[in-house]
Amino acid sequence: MTHRVLICGDLVWADAEAKDMFQGLADVVRMDSPDRADFLKGFQPGGKYEGIIGVYRHNVSADRIGIFDKEIIAALAPSVKWIAHNGAGYDQIDVAACKEKGIKVSNTPGAVDDATATTALYLVISTLRQFARGERSLRAGKWKSEVSSAATHDLTGRTLGVLGMGGIGGRLAELCHAFPMRVIYHNRKPSAEAPEWAEYVGDIQEFLKQTDVLSVHVPLNKQTEGLVGEKEIRALKRGSVIVNTARGKVIDEQAMIRALEDGHLASVGLDVFPNEPEVNPRLLEFPNITLLPHLGTETQDSQKKMEIRALTNLRDYLTTGHGKDLVGEFK
């Protein structure tokens, strides 16, 4: 019997590749449910999604059916055995519920490294040089009257602290090393993939103490929510900068705002927020910070790589019973 796989969410750049990958291997079904109720009904006996064994998932599907919480995972079982998530972060999937139901989950590490790291690099440069503020000044017809050299700094010689030396953090480290910046990093343990010139600092307080620019690159889960809180922010040097391209909830937003208010933080560069697409209006009142609407992977190059990598994980499961990119909870 031919397998059935479900495309749940956008497949924009790799439609032709999907047809080639699953030709003769599986019937590809497009999710057409307008809402959650219809989606759940589709997995009932006789429903349009009956017999689906694998799911390609994009976050945009949440606009119609919500996140993959316990209710959806329960509906997917027992037929679905693999969820191939498109994206490095997979906090919209209840992985614990998946493990309970025997459903494996993969993501797309590596495919997002360049795009997210260059976004972080822009935020590092903009926060230290106040380029976003300068552009706003120019557009308002004020030339550079709102930007003072007293509040700007070169990157050369400053210390970049990478919190989470994975693929994205490592790529940012390479980019910033070229200025050169000194690069230190903190993980639970040293990374075998870290560049040899990147210094591992095992004590988090000592790591923060040495950091001029803290760039956050950890996944969002129960252990990392609020990881950068009041204590961690105050351990940074006065006048330091925080850059976040990971997930908004990794940082205690209120603690960060307090540090901006009293000048402990000179600036922040954010591409992610706790309750996207909502942005705390208080952040909009700080002219010295740089804000982006989650543009980290918004390039056609990265989007195509992500789609192909997620589809490849799904195909590999169908052909070998394994996918390359199982998320950490299954390792």
Domain of 17, CATH number, reads 3.40.50.720
In the set 85, 247, 309, 315, the catalytic residue is: 247
Q: Are residues 10 and 159 in the same domain?
A: no
Which is catalytic among the residues 3, 64, 234, 294? 294
Q: Are residues 258 and 192 in the same domain?
A: yes
Q: Are residues 130 and 237 in the same domain?
A: yes
Q: Does residue 64 sit in the same domain as residue 118?
A: no
Do 105 and 117 lie in a common domain?
no
Whole-model pTM? Answer: 0.87
> Can you give the residue range of the structural domain that contains 36?
3-111+300-330
Q: What pLDDT sits at residue 1?
A: 53
What is the rounded distance in angstroms from the CA atom of residue 283 to the CA atom of residue 306? Answer: 31
203 & 78 share domain: no
Active site residue 294: yes
Domain count, the chain: 2
φ and ψ of 297, to 5 deg: -110, 20
pLDDT of residue 139: 95
Known catalytic membership, residue 276 = yes
Question: What secondary structure letter does DSSP report for 191?
Answer: -
Which listed residue (276, 285, 298, 329) is catalytic? 276
CA distances from 162 to 130, 208, 212, 239, 270 (A): 21, 10, 11, 17, 15
pLDDT 10s digits, 53-101: 999 999 999 999 999 999 999 999 999 999 999 998 899 999 999 999 9
Q: Is residue 284 domain-shared with residue 309, that is, in the same domain?
A: no
Looking at the fold, whether 141 and 194 belong to one and the same domain comes out as yes
Task: Answer yes or no: 139 catalytic.
Answer: no
Q: Do 250 and 106 sit in the same domain of this protein?
A: no
Within 13 Å and on the Cβ side, how many CA atoms surround 41? 7
Q: How many CB atoms lie within 10 A of CB 85?
A: 27
Regions in the chain scoring below 50 on pLDDT: none
Please report the pLDDT score of residue 330 as a whole number. Answer: 83
Residue 2 has a pLDDT of 75
Does residue 106 sit in the same domain as residue 122? no
Do 212 and 74 reside in the same domain of the chain?
no
Tell me, yes or no, whether 146 and 242 share the same domain: yes
Specify whether the CB–CB gap between 183 and 173 falls below 8 A: yes
pLDDT, residue 328, reads 83
